[in-house]
Chain A
Amino acid sequence: MTLTAQDLLFYILGGLSLASALGVLLMTNPIYSALCLALTMVSLAGLYASMQAWFVAGVQLIVYAGAVMVLFVMVLMLFDLKSEVKAFSRGAVAGFMKLVAVGLMTGAFLAAIYNSADTLLGTSLAANVDGTASTKALAQMLFGKYVFAFEAMGVLLLIIAIGAVALSRIEGGTHADE
């Protein structure tokens, strides 16, 4: 088997995302963490794109790497936090157990993926899809099969909007009524 461009892209973007994710975890300065997260998201957007999920890749870039990350960074700026001395929780036992727990879980995952590889590899890779077509199909799905979920999401956003505003107006909130 030869290394196709797609494979290469996977390794580059995958490696980038992993590295930046580790950066999120390890950077003691929250701002750097935020930036690493943004990088992760961008590289994930690239991966989406390499899987011809154009629309999703776009949304990822705009909503996530754009809006959400900006929000995070803004809040961080608001708090004006410097690099933290105590970035990580203490406790050797607890820390060890956390690592072990997550490690074991990941191990279980990887084993499961390996075990189920046969069935999964059996699924054929679809041919390249036209970006417009796929987006159109997605749209049809959103307004067809998933129309309720879509509407519910709308309601969710509405409620959250009002809720977030209300939250800001409580005592101690950013817009508290004095």
Chain B
Amino acid sequence: MNHALGISSYLIVAPMLALLAASLVPVMLKVFSGNREPHPFVTTTYGFIAVATALGLAITFLGGSKFGFHNALVSDGLSLWASVIVLVSGGFSIFMMHDHVETQTKLFSEKVFLLLGSLIGMLIVVLSNDLIVTFLGIETMSLCLYVLIAMSRETILSKEAAFKYFILGSFASAIFLYGIALIYGTAGTTQFPGLMEQVGPLLESRNHLFLIGIVFVVLGFAFKVSVFPFHFWTPDVYQGAPTPVTAFMATAVKAATFVAILRLFQSTGYQHSLPLKEVISWLAALTMLVGNAAAIMQANFKRMLAYSSVAHSGYLMVGVVAAGFGDSQGVASAAGIVVLFYLLAYSIMTLGSFAFVALLEKSVGQALQVDDVRGLARSHPVLAGCMAIVLFSLAGVPPLLGFFGKFGLFSLAIEQNFYWLAIWGVLNSVISVYYYLRPIVLMYMQGEDSSANAPLIEMNKHIMTRFTLFGSAVLIIIMGMFSSPILAALKAAILGRS
């Protein structure tokens, strides 16, 4: 066996190495300076440099369908763009962590370290070409997050959230792993390329063990991206976690995991199992409904956003269904393009919305209610305006970024003849309008009458978080109006630069 690794292997892991190296610096500094916490700004700078370097390396070296480490890793368009999304949201999350009262503690450097560690795990997931490597990546990512959540300054809810997430996550991991074991046993391999070739024959011969394996693996992924009925942890954990970490979870985890799901569904062999297609369509449909319907009923702002993220997973699952069960040539690539574009849009919007929440949380463990934003437009017109843009985009109002994300997904669904799913999806997006517009109503249309003399709502002065919110609003508009270059780049990256 040739153990020598080509240079390309190292280039692929360069971003991870950069992250690892840079992430150790603050912790090391702390160790060598007698356990003195460096200034948070310094730590943030290190974290930012780490992310920026990784991003640079990723853009430089990833893509183009390269394999590394004996086919354990693959570097293609999917991994390139997923890395970009993950790293960008990681970077913004570090900014928000710097500002937020629950994260900026004496252990801030450790937190940044853990976040970067989680990013490494995500990079592993998106680059992985092997189910067992994906598992390792997911575990790295999740374990870091458990700790990160638990390290919040807040002492009750964050601990509970961390523990719930941990137990349920491990439970789901075990199931996921069982799925891997069954797949390994039936297909003989866990590497995606080989596996994808086996899918057709195994499903055609109705190998039940393999089917169970696939179901369990999908279930494990579904847990991570909070698909109904595996989503129940989401609102609790999103609420309990410090808001910057929530933002990170809602964006990066989802992005990384969806890429893994797409890799699993790259085969046309799934055509042989009609029930699988139906069941995943059902899951997508129910996820949208439950997410949106439950979000309507929420008074807590973060829980509302959590349910909204559940609903968005439902939309994304439409892309997955199309990828796995569409019948045209190259549908998986097309699905990759639209899902990644949606993830990009979704991440930007979600970061903005959680930045907004972070700005309004003044004390530790404050449960921000939706009603708290009443009359905000009067005191903070610019920030309210940015949030309004974010919310309109989440609701899918053209020509904002969120609209084109949905446009792509539903186009794919219709092209692959998943009409009912598409109709269900758009109807659900109408339901979502109701709760997305509620904060806008409160910000702009209420609080005028009573609070003529009442003090204005105070917002935190956090520059970096404000920058995040503002940046996401600007990106939503600009990337919405001029999404063509991004789409072109995505297309080129995923279809191969030919």
Asked if B207 contacts A119 (CB within 8 A), the reply is yes
For residue B2, which residues in chain A have a CB less than 8 angstroms away from its CB? 144
Asked if B113 contacts A148 (CB within 8 A), the reply is no
Closest approach, in angstroms, between the C-beta of B46 and any C-beta of chain A?
Answer: 15
Asked if A152 contacts B147 (CB within 8 A), the reply is no
- Interface-side segment among A26-34, A92-100, A170-178: A170-178
* B132 proximal to A (CB < 8 A): yes
For residue A119, which residues in chain B have a CB less than 8 angstroms away from its CB? 205, 207
- Interface-side segment among B136-144, B316-324, B444-452: B136-144
Asked if B147 contacts A164 (CB within 8 A), the reply is yes
Asked if A159 contacts B72 (CB within 8 A), the reply is no
Asked if B150 contacts A170 (CB within 8 A), the reply is yes
Of the four ranges (under 10, 10 to 19, 20 to 34, 35 or more), the interface on chain B belongs to 35 or more
* B383 proximal to A (CB < 8 A): no
Asked if A167 contacts B212 (CB within 8 A), the reply is no
Within 140-178 of A, Cβ neighbours of B (below 8 Å) are at: 140, 143-149, 152-153, 155-156, 159-160, 162-164, 166-167, 169-172, 177
For residue A147, which residues in chain B have a CB less than 8 angstroms away from its CB? 3, 5, 69-70, 72
* B225 proximal to A (CB < 8 A): no
- Interface-side segment among A4-12, A80-88, A104-112: A104-112
Asked if B130 contacts A149 (CB within 8 A), the reply is yes
For residue B110, which residues in chain A have a CB less than 8 angstroms away from its CB? 162-163, 166
Given contacts A108-B212, A147-B69, A171-B153, contact A152 B207 (CB under 8 A): no
Inter-chain CA distance A170–B107, complex, in Å, is 8
* Complex partner residue of A152 from B68, B105, B140, CB under 8 angstroms: B140
* A128 proximal to B (CB < 8 A): no
Given contacts A155-B120, A162-B113, A169-B107, contact A116 B208 (CB under 8 A): yes
For residue A163, which residues in chain B have a CB less than 8 angstroms away from its CB? 110, 114, 117, 143-144, 147
* B177 proximal to A (CB < 8 A): no
Given contacts A112-B208, A147-B70, A149-B136, contact A171 B155 (CB under 8 A): yes
* A124 proximal to B (CB < 8 A): no
Asked if A112 contacts B209 (CB within 8 A), the reply is yes
Asked if A113 contacts B27 (CB within 8 A), the reply is no
Given contacts A116-B208, A166-B110, A170-B150, contact A148 B73 (CB under 8 A): yes
Asked if B140 contacts A156 (CB within 8 A), the reply is yes
Closest approach, in angstroms, between the C-beta of B361 and any C-beta of chain A?
Answer: 19
Closest approach, in angstroms, between the C-beta of A137 and any C-beta of chain B?
Answer: 10
* B133 proximal to A (CB < 8 A): yes
Asked if B130 contacts A116 (CB within 8 A), the reply is no
Main DSSP-derived SS at the A contact region? helix
* A132 proximal to B (CB < 8 A): no
For residue A144, which residues in chain B have a CB less than 8 angstroms away from its CB? 1-3, 70
* B20 proximal to A (CB < 8 A): yes
Closest approach, in angstroms, between the C-beta of B268 and any C-beta of chain A?
Answer: 22
Inter-chain CA distance A149–B151, complex, in Å, is 28
For residue B72, which residues in chain A have a CB less than 8 angstroms away from its CB? 145-149
For residue B117, which residues in chain A have a CB less than 8 angstroms away from its CB? 155, 159, 163
For residue A113, which residues in chain B have a CB less than 8 angstroms away from its CB? 209
The interface bits of chain B over 17-55 (1 if a CB of A lies within 8 angstroms of the residue's CB, else 0) are 000100000010000000000000000000000000000
With both beta carbons as reference points, the residue of chain A lying nearest to B159 in the complex is identified as A172
Inter-chain CA distance A116–B139, complex, in Å, is 31
Which of A108, A144, A155, A163 has its CB near the most chain B CB atoms (within 10 A)?
Answer: A163
Closest approach, in angstroms, between the C-beta of A47 and any C-beta of chain B?
Answer: 15
Asked if B155 contacts A166 (CB within 8 A), the reply is no
* B124 proximal to A (CB < 8 A): yes
Asked if B124 contacts A152 (CB within 8 A), the reply is yes
For residue B136, which residues in chain A have a CB less than 8 angstroms away from its CB? 149, 152-153, 156
Asked if B70 contacts A109 (CB within 8 A), the reply is no
For residue A164, which residues in chain B have a CB less than 8 angstroms away from its CB? 147
Asked if B209 contacts A162 (CB within 8 A), the reply is no
The interface bits of chain B over 116-137 (1 if a CB of A lies within 8 angstroms of the residue's CB, else 0) are 0100110010000010110011
Inter-chain CA distance A145–B111, complex, in Å, is 33
* B380 proximal to A (CB < 8 A): no
With both beta carbons as reference points, the residue of chain A lying nearest to B137 in the complex is identified as A152
For residue A170, which residues in chain B have a CB less than 8 angstroms away from its CB? 105, 107, 150-151
For residue A111, which residues in chain B have a CB less than 8 angstroms away from its CB? 208
* A89 proximal to B (CB < 8 A): no
* A2 proximal to B (CB < 8 A): no
* B497 proximal to A (CB < 8 A): no
For residue B124, which residues in chain A have a CB less than 8 angstroms away from its CB? 152
For residue B27, which residues in chain A have a CB less than 8 angstroms away from its CB? 162
Closest approach, in angstroms, between the C-beta of A159 and any C-beta of chain B?
Answer: 4
Within 201-234 of B, Cβ neighbours of A (below 8 Å) are at: 205, 207-209, 211-212
Closest approach, in angstroms, between the C-beta of A104 and any C-beta of chain B?
Answer: 13
Closest approach, in angstroms, between the C-beta of A174 and any C-beta of chain B?
Answer: 13
Inter-chain CA distance A1–B150, complex, in Å, is 57
Closest approach, in angstroms, between the C-beta of A96 and any C-beta of chain B?
Answer: 18
With both beta carbons as reference points, the residue of chain B lying nearest to A164 in the complex is identified as B147
Inter-chain CA distance A131–B5, complex, in Å, is 28
* Complex partner residue of A177 from B13, B106, B111, CB under 8 angstroms: B106
Asked if B107 contacts A112 (CB within 8 A), the reply is no
Asked if A143 contacts B3 (CB within 8 A), the reply is yes
Inter-chain CA distance A167–B106, complex, in Å, is 12
With both beta carbons as reference points, the residue of chain B lying nearest to A169 in the complex is identified as B107
With both beta carbons as reference points, the residue of chain B lying nearest to A145 in the complex is identified as B70
* Complex partner residue of A116 from B73, B140, B147, B207, CB under 8 angstroms: B207
Inter-chain CA distance A169–B16, complex, in Å, is 27
Given contacts A147-B3, A149-B132, contact A159 B107 (CB under 8 A): no
For residue B16, which residues in chain A have a CB less than 8 angstroms away from its CB? 155
Inter-chain CA distance A147–B4, complex, in Å, is 11
* Complex partner residue of B133 from A115, A140, A149, A162, CB under 8 angstroms: A149
* Complex partner residue of A159 from B140, B150, B159, B209, CB under 8 angstroms: B140
Given contacts A155-B20, A156-B136, contact A166 B207 (CB under 8 A): no
| Selected A-B contacts with CB under 8 Å, 8 pairs | A140-B1, A148-B72, A149-B133, A156-B143, A159-B140, A166-B113, A170-B151, A172-B155
Query: Which 10 residue pairs are nearest across A and B when measured between Cβ atoms?
Result: A112-B208, A148-B69, A166-B110, A159-B117, A163-B147, A148-B72, A156-B140, A116-B209, A145-B70, A144-B3
